[in-house]
């Protein structure tokens, strides 16, 4: 497919941008649905405000994270920070390219901390809500990567492979949409009925996501300019190991804290 969905007043609108907007709307809709269905103590106005804060944090974290971790022109951007969100190249509108999921997570955490501190909210309650709402939106994000012909898969000869960059490749973006989005959503959707303490869902998300991402990275082309980092693992897999360790620590810490309170 053509990465450009349509042109408006001479500006190309990419499928990825459309999918990104849909991802945000779906995540917000899911959050409002679960607030109402599970009778969470979060008002509609607070939820709208929270998502605004989070979106700013995610965009900043994702873009800056990509520049620091993946972009070969890191020094240029750090010395010319006004270019970080410049959507024009040589006068041509190309949009903002290059976002890091792990950078987005860090930006999201910082935004959530600041929001809950300012408005005196239970941070774990919000994080659990995000854990079950984001995976649905994530599906659209990865479909956007697929339509935009980016984050391409490794070369293959399987019958369902797609032609990208001149060769048959795994549709790794769709693998990620299913495993990192749909599968995680289904697991957390049903597990929430057995939730024992606030923060359990976000801790489980921080454990499940890196597992799914680690698997999908075996079918995804290593990042350009970085390749395999160590022991035949990609940067995404290295970061996933770190995230898994953090998620496991968070789950154990929250569970032990809950146990001590009951003792």
Q: Which residues are annotated as a binding site?
A: 142
Secondary element (H or E) of residue 163 = strand 162-164
CA distances from 87 to 72, 84, 91 (A): 18, 9, 9
- Ramachandran assignment for 39, one of left (phi > 0), alpha (psi -120 to 50 degrees), beta (any other): left
Q: Report DSSP state, residue 177.
A: I
CB atoms within 10 A of CB 141: 26
Backbone angles phi, psi at 13, to 5 degrees: -105, 115
Which ranges of the chain would DSSP assign to H, the alpha helix? 15-37, 44-69, 74-79, 101-119, 123-147, 172-176, 184-191, 200-216, 235-262
Cβ neighbourhood burial of 104 (10 Å; 0-12, 13-18, 19+): buried
Contacting residues for 97 by C-beta, under 8 A, at least 6 apart: 150
Contacting residues for 57 by C-beta, under 8 A, at least 6 apart: 107, 108, 109, 110, 111, 112
Buried b (16+ CB within 10 A) or exposed e, 20-41: bebbbebbbebbbebbeeeebe
Nearest to 77, CA basis, from 97, 106, 54: 97
């Amino acid at each position: 497919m053509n990465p450009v969905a349509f042109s408006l007043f001479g500006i190309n609108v990419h499928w990825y941008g459309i999918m990104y907007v849909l991802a945000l709307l779906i995540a917000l809709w899911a959050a409002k649905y679960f607030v109402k269905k599970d009778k969470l103590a979060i008002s509609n106005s607070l939820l709208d405000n929270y998502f605004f804060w989070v979106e700013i944090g995610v965009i900043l974290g994702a873009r800056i994270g990509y520049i620091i971790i993946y972009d070969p022109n890191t020094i240029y951007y750090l010395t010319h920070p006004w270019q970080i969100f410049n959507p024009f190249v040589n006068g041509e509108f190309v949009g903002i390219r290059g976002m890091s999921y792990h950078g987005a997570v860090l930006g999201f955490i910082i935004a959530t901390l600041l929001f809950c501190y300012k408005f005196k909210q239970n941070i774990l309650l919000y994080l659990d809500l995000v854990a079950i709402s984001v995976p649905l939106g994530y599906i659209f994000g990865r479909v956007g990567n697929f339509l935009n012909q980016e984050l391409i898969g490794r070369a293959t000869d399987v019958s369902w492979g797609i032609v990208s960059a001149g060769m048959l490749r795994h549709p790794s973006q769709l693998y990620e949409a299913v495993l990192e989005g749909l599968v995680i959503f289904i697991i957390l959707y049903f597990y929430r009925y057995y939730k024992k303490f606030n923060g359990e869902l976000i801790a489980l998300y921080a454990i499940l996501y890196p597992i799914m991402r680690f698997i999908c990275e075996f079918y995804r082309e290593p990042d350009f300019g970085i390749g395999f980092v160590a022991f035949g693992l990609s940067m995404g897999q290295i970061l996933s190991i770190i995230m898994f360790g953090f998620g496991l620590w968070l789950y154990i810490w929250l569970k032990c804290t809950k146990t001590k309170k009951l003792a």
